[in-house]
Chain A
Amino acid sequence: MSDKKDLKGADIDVINQYTGEKWYYTDTVKEHFFKPRNLLLDAPDESNFDANGMVGSPACGDMMNMWMKVDPKTEKIKDLKWKTFGCGSAIAATSMYSVMLTEEGGMTIESALKVKPQHIMMRLGGLPNRKIHCSVLADKAFQKTVNDYFRKTDQHDRIITDGARVVDERLNITDKDIEEAVLEGAQTLEEVQKKLKVGVGMSEESVTDIEQLIRFYAEKYYG
């Protein structure tokens, strides 16, 4: 990889109006920015995909939506498509990420989950410091998509619950899932169950817990 060389030889693309800091984009970044790979250009045909996940960046407010097709036998990623309301770095980083996960027949979900933002950065030849969170966006969208896949294929035990509190052990539903359902407009337990597409047979104590969370988030965001 000629990443280091690219970094030095890159043109200055954006000069910050307030600080004068120069933003260098490597040729690889530019290449992926101007010709993004694996973009989903039309409305998604859900039958072509097994899972989907949309996340927002708390740093800048940008958003990423991702769709995945998986070979159920090998668990290799056959297709990874995306759309973003994001900056140049987010476009380039996600484009590169989608290439990394699908090249050479596709990675397995297990290995794909080990790809970290720094690996994307390495392949891109670096991003300006302030733009590192943009590559995190791709990684987060993928994690959410994978969770959607696990949920849809009834592999609740494999759901990644990092940093969130599990409120339903059997289905690995977390407080974050409840928060999301409320933000999507759900107001009652039934509506939350409908949004999460699970819920039958939730245990007695988890129901109370979940109802409390619904009230908490409804008050927080709409109160």
Chain B
Amino acid sequence: MSKETEIKRRVYLDHAAATPMDLRVKEAMDSYMTDEYGNAGGLYREGRRAKDGIDHARKSLARILSCRPDEVVFTSGGTEGDVLAIIGTARANKDRGSHIVTTTIEHQAVLESCEALEKEGFEVTYVDVEPNGVVDPKKIESALRDDTILVSVMYANNEIGTIQPIRNIAKILKDRKIIFHTDACQASEYLDLDVQKLGVDLLVLNGSKVYGPKGVGAVFVRNGTRVRPILFGGAQEGKRRAGTENVPGIVGLGRALEIADEMKVREGARLSELRDYLISRITKEIKRTILNGDAKERLPNNVNISILDIEGEATLLYLDNYGIACSTGSACTSESLDPSHVILALGKPYEHAHASIRFTLGRGTKKEDLDYLMEYLPGVVTTLRKISPITVEEDAKGMSHPEAFAGENMRVKANSKNYK
């Protein structure tokens, strides 16, 4: 194995986690950090300049989302947006009912907001997705009750990139006066964000996935949708989000989305081709590999594959040594030591989650980068498979060696997909 220092090349394939900032975005932001430093609430010149910057970004978002500028609320990112959209909406509409419907593959920001609401007395139905990682709108429909106030389904999944049938779900909800939220953080770089066509009442996006700044995001809140604030202490953002506005961040988010909007079609087509190229090379050149998530209904930049029998963190560290950055659904890299809930939701045993590797391509990714990855990946897999004591079935429904856990107080059935 060669030393890290000998390898000059870096191939970054984790754009679903973070994107490099577009230089045009940085340029737009620059003056708002130094020269135009005013508080947007100030009535004097500095304040007005800052407010102009925010207003411009708000108009850009309104144009891209096909909504009114006052329907855009800026936040500190996707997490805050999701928490506001779920918790703020549920609390404000409690008089109408206390039931919420979502799916098992949502981002933690949505899932944990729902769990917090369960402690407040709300009931939540978590609808299973199909084995291809796409939810069946009929299953959403059958989960609805008379007291359902909110449905939350992500536009595209962050781990496996599957695109959810938002328009179809919106049609089902339209006449029932149920509020519809979608987390579009991963979708905003590639998919149509027209909220009228989508039929959503709440849509969340952030800067870090669209080559903009981290720590800034926005929520579209349809006029007439009641949302109670989750932060208190100021009247900013139409009394919906207290706190001094992150002016450079908001300006950057606006510029980043303008650029993304221009590039969308071209970049989507370019990356879809590269994505399919990489999927076909991996699945052809490495045995016992399984694509997670639907092959067609997926983001143009997402490749998520379980390389059976090997553990994702080890793969990730070996690849990093060759200059390649990617991510894994293995428990070993997660804070909680839980394997990816998304891969488990596909009906696969936890060993498939441990073995999953995600490559997410981006604006800087070229075919040569993928060829570079394929120079090393098969060798890394061969090495790690030699190390591995297990052989996982491709269509396994349970763990391969439950007996290894004797005496550990496993709380699961030996043949179930869930671990723990």
Contact = CB atoms under 8 A, between A and B. Distances in A.
A149 B407 CA distance: 19
Interface string B230-245: 0000000000000000
B63 to A, nearest CB: 32
Interface string B331-355: 1111101010000000000110010
A41 to B, nearest CB: 5
Given A14-B333, A62-B311, A35 B389 contact: no
Interface in B295-328: 309-311, 313-314, 316-318, 320-321, 327
Could you say which interface size class chain A belongs to?
A: 35 or more
A48 interface: no
Interface string A4-34: 0000000101101111010000000000011
A83 B1 contact: no
A199 B317 CA distance: 46
Interface stretch (A71-79, A99-107, A108-116, A175-183): A175-183
A54 B354 contact: no
A140 to B, nearest CB: 10
A61 interface: yes
Q: Which of B321, B390, B404 has the most CB of A within 10 A?
A: B404
Interface stretch (A86-94, A151-159, A204-212): A86-94
Contacts of A1: none
Contact of B404 (A17, A19, A55, A177): A55
A87 B403 contact: no
A189 interface: no
B388 interface: yes
B419 interface: yes
B404 A39 contact: no
B311 A179 contact: no
Q: Which of B334, B387, B412 has the most CB of A within 10 A?
A: B387
A54 B401 contact: yes
B7 interface: no
B317 A14 contact: yes
Contacts of A11: 4
Contacts of B330: 87
Interface string B88-109: 0000000000000000000010
B350 A61 contact: yes
Nearest to A134: B332
A163 B408 CA distance: 11
A190 B276 CA distance: 53
Nearest to A83: B389
Contacts of A175: 407
B410 interface: yes
B317 A84 contact: no
A71 B81 CA distance: 64
B389 A63 contact: yes
Contact of B321 (A34, A64, A163): A34
18 contacts: A13-B317, A14-B316, A33-B314, A33-B317, A35-B1, A39-B386, A55-B404, A58-B408, A58-B410, A63-B404, A84-B387, A84-B388, A85-B310, A87-B332, A89-B332, A91-B387, A183-B403, A221-B413
Given A56-B408, A85-B351, A86-B314, 5 more contacts: A33-B317, A58-B405, A60-B337, A130-B335, A180-B403
Interface of A: 11, 13-14, 16-19, 21, 33-36, 39, 41-42, 54-56, 58-65, 83-89, 91, 130, 134, 163-164, 175-177, 179-181, 183-184, 221-223
**Interchain residue pairs A-B with the least CB separation, the first 8:** A180-B406, A87-B332, A56-B404, A65-B389, A176-B407, A83-B389, A183-B403, A58-B408
